Amino acid sequence: MHFNLPLSKSVVVSHLGLTLMSASTEVQLFIPWKGASPLNLPVAWSYFLQPFSFPGGSIMDETVAEYIRRTVLKMPRDEIKMMLQKWGFLSEAQLQTLNFHQQKDNISQEVVQLCEENSAGIKQAAALDIIYNHIYQNKRMWSVYQMKKSGEEEEYFDIADFKKKFKGRIRSALKNVTITFKEYEDNAIWIRVAWGTPHKKPNQYKPSYVVYHSQTPYVFISASVLKSNLPLLCQALIVASNYRDIREMELRSHSLNSLKDIVFKRYSQNFQTYSPKPVQGWNVEAENADRRIVHENRSVKERIHRLNQESFGCGPQPKLEFAQYRLDTMFKSDPKMDVLDKKEPFRCLVKFSSPHLLESLKSLAPLGMADAPLSPLLTCITHKARNYFKIREKKESFVSP
Amino acid sequence: AQERQEQLQEREKFLKSRIQELRQRRDALREKVRQAVSELGNLGIASEPDPREVLEWKIQKCRELLRLFRLTGISGKLSPHGISLSLHTSFEGSLLDSFHLELQERGDSGRFWLCRHSVPPFIPLERLARELLPRNPRQFLGILCRHLNTFVGRREQLRKLQEEFPDSVQVLSQNSLCNFLSFRYRIPAESSGEFQEFRAQLRYRDPTGTRPDDVTAVTGDGVAVPEHSELLRRLPLHRALRQIHDTTAGTTTTG
């Protein structure tokens, strides 16, 4: 569909699929059918019939408006106000004018209108996206990368320097990118990168997210689908943080905080200490309120509890969703049975999944579903900071690359 | 350098007199114990002490020993896997975080290596372990303790600063080790309630240093304020700001 319209003033178009080609007297409109619902078209037309100008005199980019609109639509209705407040781009007075009890479609339209008044650009839109993704970080899959030092100690970390080097490295290879930073109080630096190509503007709907804590060798990346940009991203990170090399660890999860707990050693490990805190034994008395019940195997239960605590510690476990073991070992059977004709390694993939894998592993022995202590292959996950393993035939112990 | 020499000599004198003081107290306490014991003997308690009381006394002694271990800052225990060490950090008399290490010995060589730990990643643990642990475990522990204590001290100073001055201090940037910090602070200039805005930037070059090496304090217009930077250099952050507040209030009321 193709429209030619003479216009005397510049207008703002902020709806699905309408692309403003030029803001001069003549405007060509391309309306792709995908996403353009008949309901929205009349509203779009109304903008043309009543052109209006802005205090700043500048037009908000149509793509920016659309992106803000879709970002607001993603938010749960009762959280929109809070996120807009965190964003800080709209004034308190402007937020008061919004009606948060109507349909989200309408709320988002109103938000976009206010953004137009303030002449929002892609920077502000990206900042709003970071806020949403920071709160809903567990919707994304995060991988952990480890960097290696070049040898000299760094005196201190200067964030301005980091940002400059990061942007510089990326822009030297690719001009069409949107890079946004946001620092949080726990020293986490969030970086959002929207990637384009030499000929196309950045795709704001498939950005990569990077979370970095200064002066640590770990980076958490939730890559976009466009995996080809990953090497450039990694390059920029080591340049900016003064490291020599970066490699992907075999550790992935949706829970970013749990990944941080594992590599920052914030989870509860079982260390033997002369600590004055009370020993947390399995309290039979609490479970045995009824004196008519006698626990015959109390010592067994206590032993299981003790072994379990040695493996998993006494605190809450980091939240992982799966552990994957790629087996490349020989099948061991009774030689008389000779199950396999050829002496070939038995290849298979074993994957454990759970909404909270480590807690469920921890409860296996006390529930009687497995013997305590559990296999070290399962209990070493947090200590080795990995949930992807390759097990090869090598003297009964596993070797992972 | 001259100043530093004088400072060290003063510190030495102070510590020596403190040792004297503590020795005198120890001798006085010993005397008290001796007297009490002899009094007990005079009372002629010959019967067997109650076993329950003895047990309670033993438990109490144990608890006190454990508390003593914690207060020294380092405690250790032999574990099935090796040696388990706990490093307890403190700042201005409060016990703060504890960090743990597990060391194992390679055969009988007397050389140790690091097995497990709960030290945060921005402390250069691996480098220290690589350089010092095999040959000189004591030095390794000493230096690691200092890194941890100074880090926790800097973090605690920042926390106290924000706690005591929630409305007048705004942190602009910090990092994980808390050795680079910049913040805005405002002081009520006149009793009329007007505020003067300042900005400060602190840098601790030495990771085991408790005092910042580079301090710049400027007004909103960029004019340096040497009195403020001197206070921030000498005192812990929250105390420096308290003093800045007090001196500014003092001059305005008298001036």
Select the residue of B63, B102, B124 nearest A271 (Cβ to Cβ).
B102
**Does the residue B8 lie in any domain?**
no
Nearest to B118 among A158, A216, A265 (CB): A265
pLDDT value at B248 more than 60: yes
Asked whether residue B183 is domain-assigned, the answer is yes
Is pLDDT above 80 for A154? Answer: no
Report ipTM for this prediction: 0.74
**CATH code of B50's domain:** 3.30.457
Q: Do B127 and A159 touch (CB under 8 A)?
A: no
Could you give phi then psi for residue A189, rounded to 5 degrees? -105, 120
Residue B124 contacts A where some CB pair is shorter than 8 Å: yes
- Domains contained in chain B, number: 2
Task: Give whole-number Cα distances, B169 to B153, B166, B228, in Å.
Answer: 19, 6, 14
Flag whether residue B173 sits within 8 Å of chain A, measured between CB atoms. yes
Whether B93 is in a domain gets the answer yes
The confidence score (pLDDT) of residue B67 equals: 81
- Does residue B41 form part of some domain? yes
Residue-level pLDDT at A68 = 94
B130 and B203 together in one domain: no
Chain B contact for A273 (CB, 8 A cutoff):
yes
Residues B37, B79, single domain; the answer is yes
Strands B112-117 and A26-30: unpaired
Distance in angstroms (rounded) separating the CA atoms of residues A293 and A270: 32
B6 assigned to some structural domain: no
- Most confident stretch, A137-146, A223-232, B77-86, B179-188: A137-146
Domain's final residue, options B115, B131, B152: B152
CA–CA separation, A223 and A140 (whole Å): 9
Q: Could you tell me the CA-to-CA distances from B253 to A6, A318, B168 in Å, in that order?
A: 70, 56, 20
pLDDT at position A210:
96
Task: Kindly tell me if the per-residue pLDDT of A12 is higher than 80.
Answer: no
pLDDT of residue A41: 41
pTM above 0.90, yes or no: no
Higher pLDDT, B230 or A401: B230
Pairing of strands A345-353, A208-213: unpaired
The answer to whether residues B195 and B217 belong to one domain is: yes
Least confidently predicted of A54-58, B31-35, B122-126, B240-244: A54-58
Check whether residue B121 and residue B230 sit in a common domain. no
Backbone φ and ψ of A140, nearest 5°: -100, 160
Give residues with Cβ within 8 angstroms of B205, minimum separation 6.
A155, A156, B179, B213, B214
Domain that holds residue B66: 23-152
Q: Does A20 touch chain B (CB under 8 A)?
A: no
Domain boundary among B123, B152, B181: B152
| Cβ-proximal residues to A95 (8 Å cutoff; 6+ apart), any chain | A81, A84, A85
Q: Is B178 a domain residue?
A: yes
Q: Are residues B37 and B116 in the same domain?
A: yes
Q: Does residue B176 sit within a domain?
A: yes
Residue B240: pLDDT over 50: yes
A264 touches chain B (CB under 8 A): yes
DSSP A257-308: HHHHHHHTT-SPP------SSPP----HHHH--STT---TTHHHHHHHHHHH
Which of A129-138, A267-276, B84-93 has the weakest average pLDDT? Answer: A267-276
Are residue B148 and residue B51 in the same domain, yes or no?
yes
Per-residue confidence (pLDDT) for residue A273, from 0 to 100: 76
Chain A nearest-CA distance from B149, in A, is 17
Which of B130, B152, B174 is the endpoint of a domain? Answer: B152
B113 and B39 housed in the same domain = yes
Q: Using the beta-carbon criterion (under 8 Å), do A265 and B122 form an inter-chain contact?
A: no
* Residues linked to residue A248 through DSSP beta bridges, in sequence order: A145
pLDDT value of residue A381: 93
Residue B11 within any structural domain of the chain: no
Q: Which of B86, B119, B174 sits opposite A265 (nearest CB)?
A: B119
Q: Can you tell me the distance from the alpha carbon of B254 to that of B252, in angstroms, rounded to the nearest whole number?
A: 6
Same domain, yes or no, for B138 and B185? no
Contacts of B45-54 with CB under 8 Å at 24 or more apart are none
In this structure, the answer to whether residues B118 and B193 fall within a common structural domain is no
pLDDT value at residue A170: 95
Question: Does B79 lie in the same domain as B39?
Answer: yes
Dump pLDDT digits (tens) for B84-102. Answer: 999 999 998 888 999 999 9
Q: E strands within A63-214?
A: 142-149, 177-183, 188-195, 208-213
Instruction: Say if residue B246's pLDDT is above 60.
Output: yes
Task: Please report which confidence band the pLDDT of residue A1 belongs to, taking 50, 70 and 90 as the band edges.
Answer: very low
Which pLDDT score is estimated for A346? Answer: 72
CA A36 from centroid of its chain's CA atoms: 31
Are B128 and B176 within one domain? no
In chain B, which residues have their Cβ closer than 8 Å to the Cβ of A218? 121
Is the CB of B97 inside 8 Å of chain A's CB atoms? no
| A337 compared with A305, residue with greater pLDDT | A305
Of B63, B67, B84, the CB nearest to A271: B84
Say whether pLDDT at A275 is over 70: no
Which chain B residues contact residue A275 at CB under 8 A? 66, 70, 86
Q: Distance between CA A148 and CA B121 in Å, rounded? A: 12
Please indicate, yes or no, whether residues B121 and B142 belong to a single structural domain of this protein: yes
For range B160-183, the mean pLDDT: 88
